[in-house]
Structure 1
Amino acid sequence: MTVPAPRVRRRPSVPGRVLPLLLVLALIAPLGLLFAQASGTTADDHDLATRERLGVRYLRALGPVTDALVEAQSTAVAGAPVSRAALNAAIERAAEVDAAVGDELRSHERWAGLRAKVEALPDRGLGDPEAAYRAYGEATDLLLALYRKVRESSGLIRDPRADSFFLQDGIGGDLPTATVLAGRLADLVRLAPARPAAERVKTGAELSELRVAALGPAMDLVADLRSAVDSSESTDLGANVLTPLDTYQRSLEAFTAFSAPGPGRAAPSTDQLTNAGLTAQNAAKELRTVILDQLDALLEERLDTLDRDRLLARIAAVVAVALLAGLAVVQLAAWRRGRHRSTEAREPAEAGRPATVRPDQPAATRPADRQPVTVGGGDAERWRPFDAAR
């Protein structure tokens, strides 16, 4: 008869062993791609917000320069001696900021041109009001160009959030333009009576054009700030901005009223316009400080959020990689155990497989494990009764 051999466990096929590992790798690849894209986007947003804060720092330094330059222009056009103390101090503070962040904002060239123009003002024959008006006009034009450069190079002009975009547009575009042009309007009103009679028509047209140019940015500033408050999720923005905005708007209305001919007068009132201009300028200073503080706070909050998101993304990526690595280790260990068990089962089956025994096979030719066994030191063999019976 034939003794069946032990059943050997079948080894898993190669695809069955490799497929789990391939699935693990297939999961790692898209997770890595998603993490790389998210990390790149977060890094870009972080860099933009960081540069924007540099721009806010620069705009904060340009504010006192704007005020001092407009005040010096009004003094020079009025024929009074110009005190350089406030203007020089503002220039020095702005120069320090330009030295610190000018490389990042690429503002050195424009700042150098503005500073040279401002420092050359005392040597331009300011005894002539018309010459002073033109000279300071050239300097303030360079100042407004520097404002635009800072907004562009810092990325403020491309800010993706509605509230911070309207704030930067107001503080970097509308407010300095309105301040400079309002000062020019007041100075031109002072210069107009002294001009020749042949130029009165030209002067009237110039006054009308400058009045529209000055009041347009001021109204745009009001609209920008209200849009920023309406679109912002911050509860502090409205509470902090609306009060100084109302003060500025009232002073602007008074300045507008005195900048045009009124009942009983053919020309604007110089003294009333000057006083209204000073009130509007003081309100603009207060409003500028508030806007810059709020804009910087929004950007700082955004940076904190981006840092937190980047940290959470890294933690999630590490956890995902650890889980997938653990799964790969488990699958590899299971494959090795299966291979080891298969080897152990196959070796005994191949080395100790029982031979086939036929009933008519002589005892001498049978396998050793089927030879007769003697009992009791030479007693009768155990197979003899079977042979006798046969």
Structure 2
Amino acid sequence: MTVPAQRVRRRPSAPGRVLPLLLVVALLAPVGFLFAQTHRLTGDDRDLAVRERLGVEYLRVLGPVTEALVDAQSAAVTGRAPAREALDRAVQDAARVDARIGDELRSRERWAGLRAKLEALPNRTLNDPEAAFTAYGEVTDLLLALHRKVREASGLVRDPQQDSFFLQDGIGRDLPTAMVAAGRLADLSALGAARPATERARTQGELAELRVAALASAGDLVADLRAAVDSSESTELGPNVLTPLDTYQRAVEALAAYSAPAAAAKTGLSDPAQVAGARLNAQSAAKLLQPVILDQLDSLLTERIDSYDRDRRLAAGAAATATLLVLILIGVLVAAFRRAQRRAAEAQRAAEPDSGALSGSSGWQPPRPAERGRSPEDHRLLQPAGTGRDAGSERWGPFDAAR
């Protein structure tokens, strides 16, 4: 009877050992791709919002420069000494901001040209009001161009959200344009009253053009702010903006009424004093509205940056969790593989003695009797025939030998 040898468990092949690990790593690859994609997209959007906040900061210091420059222009045109203290102070504040962020917004060259023009403006009253009007007009054009440059370089003109886009358009384009146009309208009204009758037609045409520009810019500002309120999800934008906006809108309507050509007047022109008073009221309302718009715009951008940071943290947490789970799964697979190797090695060692004992025989054999205690005669009697002393004689047998 044969005893079957114990079957030794085969070791898994190399592809069988590597395939589970490859599948686990393949699960991690899409997670890594999604994390990298989310990080890149949110990173670009976040960088844009951060740069937009720099533009808001720059526009904040350009507002006082615009107000002071318009006031200085009105003083120079009407024969009064320009109030340079407010203008110099506003220029210094803008210069500090430009020194800090001008390189990033690529506004350094434009600001340098504007500042040179501002410093070149005379500190005393000019003898020629027309020359003063022209000189200040060139400087205000450079100032409006700097507003456009800041909006473009900071990315405000590419803002993806409707509420913040309308706010930046109102504060960076409509409001400064309306303030400059209102100042020119009031100053030209004063100049037109002193011009000769031969230039009355030209004066009326210029006043009509400035009136349209001032009222159109103010109307665009009102439309932009109302659109921002309607499209915004913020509960604070409406109450904070609408009240100063209504004040500004009433001031602009008064400016439109006072700047209209007077049919009863001999010159056909409006009263310069009334236009100047309406311009001051509109500028005061704009001065109250400007920081409100800037604060709301900056608040929306700050909330957007916080949301991008939150999304990036969530994506990083999800990627870290997926990586941890994959590492745990890899550890479990490696531990299971090592246990299988140990069991296979133990089974092989247990099977080796049995297989060696059975390899030399095909069946069971009885043990040979011990040869101790036999006499020489017994050994001789047990020898086969033909192996005795006379091995050459075949007649000898056991009994002949004994005889």
TM above 0.5, one fold? yes
Distance between the aligned counterparts of 1:234 and 1:162, measured in 2?
A: 12
State whether residues 124 and 132 of structure 1, in contact with CA within 8 Å, keep that contact through their aligned partners in structure 2: no
Give 1:199 shift.
2.4
Aligned-partner Cα distance in 1 for 2:89–2:249: 29
> Deviations for 1:56-100, whole angstroms, at most 9, x for unmatched residues?
111110010000000000010001111211111111111111111
Cα distance in 1, alignment partners of residues 72 and 364 from structure 2 = 132
Percent identity between matched residues is: 65
- Partner of 2:367 in structure 1? 363
The CA distance in 2 between the partners of 1:24 and 1:292, in whole Å, is: 51
Q: For the residues of structure 1 that align with 2:171 and 2:230, how far apart are their CA atoms?
A: 17
Corresponding residue of 2:258: 258
Map residues 90-109 of structure 1 onto 2, 5 A cutoff: 90-109=90-109
Query: CA-atom RMSD, angstroms?
Result: 1.9
**Alpha-carbon contact 1:258-1:276 (below 8 Å) kept:** yes
Task: For residue 340 of structure 1, report the CA deviation from its aligned partner.
Answer: 1.9
**Pairwise CA distance, 1:344:** 1.8
1:261 & 1:56 partners in 2: Cα distance? 38
CA distance in 1, matches of 2:362, 2:319: 68
3-state DSSP of counterpart to 2:122 = helix
Q: CA deviation at 1:193?
A: 2.4
* Structure 1 stretch displaced more, 76-85 or 231-240: 76-85
Find the aligned partners of 1:252 and 1:94 in 2 and give their Cα distance: 28
* Distance apart, 1:251 and its partner CA: 0.6
> Aligned pair 1:286/2:278, yes or no?
no
Bigger shift: 71-80 or 348-357? 348-357
> What code does the residue aligned with 1:221 have?
L
1:275 maps to a residue whose letter is G
Q: Which runs of 5+ in 2 are unaligned?
A: 374-403
Alignment of 1:73-88 (within 5 A): 73-88=73-88
Q: Which blocks of at least 5 consecutive residues in structure 1 are unaligned?
A: 365-371, 379-390
User: Pairwise mapping of residues 112-191 of structure 1 onto structure 2 (< 5 A)?
Assistant: 112-122=112-122, 126-191=126-191
Report the counterpart of residue 367 of structure 1 in structure 2. Answer: none
Match of 1:327 among 313, 326, 329: 329
Hey, what's the Cα distance between the residues in 2 that align with 1:226 and 1:262? 32
TM-score (norm 1): 0.90
In structure 2, what residue type is equivalent to 1:281?
Q
Alpha-carbon separation, structure 2, partners of 1:342 and 1:351 = 16
Distance of 2:363 and 2:290 partners within structure 1:
114
Q: Contact 2:129–2:191 at 8 Å: present in 1 too?
A: yes
Per-residue deviation, 1:123: 6.9
Which has more radius of gyration?
2
Q: CA 1:132–1:361 in structure 2 vs 1: closer, same or farther (change >3 Å)?
A: same
Q: How does 1:239-388 map to 2 (within 5 A)?
A: 239-265=239-265, 266-353=268-355, 354-355=357-358, 358=362, 361=365, 363-364=367-368
1:68 aligns to 2:68 (yes or no): yes
Following superposition, the deviation at residue 310 of structure 1 comes to: 1.7
1 CA distance for matches of 2:342 and 2:364? 41
1:23 corresponds to 2:28: no
The TM-score, its normalising length taken from structure 2, stands at: 0.87
| Poorly superposed stretches of 4+, deviation over 4 Å | 356-362
Determine the C-alpha separation between the residues in 2 that align with 1:352 and 1:138: 109
Q: Which moved more, 1:204-213 or 1:321-330?
A: 204-213
Cross-structure match for 2:37: 37
